[in-house]
Amino acid sequence: AIKQAERLAEDGGGYPLGQLIHNPLVTDELEKRGVKAAENPEDIPKGKKVIIRSHGVGQAVYGELERREIEYIDATCPFVANIHRIVREESEKGARVIIAGDPSHPEVKGIRGHCLTESRVVDSIRDIELLISDKLFVQDALILVAQTTYQLAKWIEYKKIIKKHCTNLQIFDT
């Protein structure tokens, strides 16, 4: 993503959708060179290119970029793109999606944006208890995925608990 942003700077600038990386020294330098973060496609001036950062974005964002005829470079991490593919394919089959992760994290928001059915995010035992108490939700076909940077200990614990209560569950170790 950084190399793409540097090339974009050489070509006259462009816009990452959201903060490209969590390093202010790098992002400040890129901004000085004409690569400034934008929060959504509406913030992109006509004729400028966009970089989709490694966290990825929801399917609607791709659609909006295409509708607005904004050229983009997709720098979504391959592991994140794999989660997008999994939730899209499984939700096309009717499975509801459970995501272990931080609900405010851009990666989780992007994952949810590829779900075609209802999705829930769990980031605590309390979240799991609320999920399990929703009998209508847990009786359906479910899949469980995790944010790529999610804490391994939490992921292992959550899988164990959810497996006990959801009999129609498919787990993807993402």
Q: What does the pLDDT read at residue 139?
A: 78
Q: What does the pLDDT read at residue 21?
A: 81
Beta-sheet strand order (sheet of 96-100): 119-122, 96-100, 142-146, 169-171
Q: Concatenated DSSP letters for 47-99?
A: T-EEEE-TT---HHHHHHHHHTT--EEE---HHHHHHHHHHHHHHHTT-EEEE
Q: Which of 113, 111, 120, 115 is closest to 149 using CA atoms?
A: 111
Say whether 5 sits in a helix, a strand or coil: helix
Q: What does the pLDDT read at residue 74?
A: 94
DSSP class of 150: S
Instruction: Tell me the per-residue pLDDT of 79-116, one tens digit each, with 9 for 90 and over.
Output: 999 999 999 999 999 999 999 999 999 999 999 999 99
In the chain, which stretches have pLDDT less than 70?
none
Q: Which of 15, 13, 32 is closest to 24 using CA atoms?
A: 32
Which residues have a catalytic role annotated?
107
Q: Are 122 and 128 in contact (CB under 8 A)?
A: yes
Q: What does the pLDDT read at residue 46?
A: 84
CA distances from 129 to 117, 138, 153, 158 (A): 21, 11, 18, 10
C-beta atoms surrounding 50 within 10 Å: 23
Q: What does the pLDDT read at residue 49?
A: 93
Q: Which of 103, 93, 95, 90 is closest to 130 using CA atoms?
A: 103
Rg (CA), the chain: 18
Q: What does the pLDDT read at residue 111?
A: 98
